[in-house]
């Protein structure tokens, strides 16, 4: 999925996956913090494609 979306033009790093067990609260918090920072650096999502329909 990540590979396909990035192939189709979504910026690298916007799609993130990880395994976290329900018992790993600390790790979950860390991950969310990291990912949030990463995505903030990327800026607003431009969407899959920029052009909207021309009427």
Partner 1 sequence: MQNITNLVQDAAKKLLEDKTVDLVVGFSGGSLPLRSTPCFIRTPEDTAKLVWDLSCENNLANYLRKKNQKIGVVAKGCDTRSIVALIKENQIDRDKVYIIGVPCSGMVDRNKVEQLLEGKELLEITRDGDTLALKGKGFSKTAGISELLHNSCRSCGHPNPVLFDQMIGEPVAAGEVDTFADITEMEAKAAADRRAFFTDQFSKCIRCYACRNACPMCYCEECFVDCSTPEWIGKTIDPQDSMLFQIGRVFHLAGRCVDCGACERACPMGINLTLLNRKLVKDVKDLFGAEAGLSLDDKAVLDTFAPDDPQPFLVKE
Contacts with partner 1 by CB under 8 A lie at 1-12, 16-19, 30-31, 34-35, 47-53
Assess contact for 14 and 39: CB atoms under 8 A: yes
Specify the residue, 40 or 51, whose C-beta has the smaller distance to partner 1.
51
Residues 6+ apart with CB under 8 A from 14: 39, 42, 45
In the complex, least distance from residue 53 CB atom to partner 1, rounded to whole angstroms: 5
Provide, rounded to whole angstroms, the least separation between the CB of residue 23 and partner 1: 17
**Measured from the CB atom, is 16 or 25 closer to partner 1?**
16
The owner of tokens 């990912």 is 35
């Amino acid at each position: 999925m990540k590979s396909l979306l990035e192939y189709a033009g979504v910026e690298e790093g916007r799609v993130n996956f990880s395994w976290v067990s329900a018992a790993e609260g600390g790790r979950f918090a860390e991950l969310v913090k990291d990912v949030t920072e990463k995505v903030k650096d990327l800026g607003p999502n431009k969407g899959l494609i920029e052009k909207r329909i021309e009427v």
